[in-house]
Homo-oligomer: A and B are copies of this chain.
Amino acid sequence: MSNRTSSGLVAGYYLAKKGIKTAIYERKLSAGGGMWGGGMMFNKIVVQTEAKYILDEFEVGSIEYQKDYYVANSVETVSALCYRCVRAGTRIFSLLSVEDVMIRENDRVTGLVINWSAVSLANLHVDPLAIRAKLVIDATGHAAEVCHIVTRKLGNKLATKTGDVIGEKSMWAEVGEKELVAKTPEVYPGLLATGMAVNAVFGLSRMGPIFGGMLLSGKNVADLSAYLLKNTSG
């Protein structure tokens, strides 16, 4: 899984809980992306009632500040997501970037081509290595990096209207969140997406600074992955 967002950490947690061996490749030094800074550097995040059970499962404190909206400390939330994800058994490898995907029979994604992030940051030319995987999840947020690699290398063949990454629309938080949870995030044979990457790939509305949809999306993609792994390899 290629990760930069909180939905990736949630997915990693639930996948491990289901006994699925998962590795997260994190481009940055630390995991969790922008969630550390909350909204505009004010260290708070907001979660709706529907997703509060995930905060509870990760043992993150929250306060109901108006009906159906809970506020949590952003640093506590992101460190809890990361801690419990690793603790559950998923491995996070930091400072690793995805350069390409591996493709085999039927053009199915069967792994990732990775390299040290420091190599490209330092503008060096060093060859990457390849890692096999039964399923790949794109958790790179609105950049949707893995999905973009697929369209650039293999043509516009994603499971979207145009076959390409459509790009998220302007912000309409309630609609964006609902669309996100409703969407089946399988974007290509062997490749799923989660979190804002789903909004970007399918052209859904941008979500606001309310994080519930993100957390639920991580849970959903873990459930779908487990289903697919049982049925495709069975």
Contacts and interface: CB of A to CB of B under 8 A. Distances in A.
B128 A124 contact: no
Number of copies: 8
Interface of A: 29-41, 43, 59, 61, 73, 75-76, 78-80, 82-83, 86-87, 91-95, 100-104, 113-119, 121-130, 149-150, 152-154, 167-173, 205-206, 208-209
A192 B41 CA distance: 28
Contacts of A114: 40
Q: Which 10 A-B pairs have the closest CB atoms?
A: A121-B122, A118-B118, A37-B126, A30-B30, A79-B82, A79-B83, A34-B125, A76-B86, A103-B170, A118-B122
Contacts of A94: 36-37, 41, 43, 75
Contact of A171 (B78, B83, B87, B103): B103
Contacts of A32: 30
Given A37-B124, A94-B75, A116-B41, A209 B130 contact: yes
Q: Is the interface of A mostly helix, strand, loop or mixed?
A: mixed
A79 B83 CA distance: 5
Contacts of A39: 126-129
Contact of A129 (B31, B40, B83, B87): B40
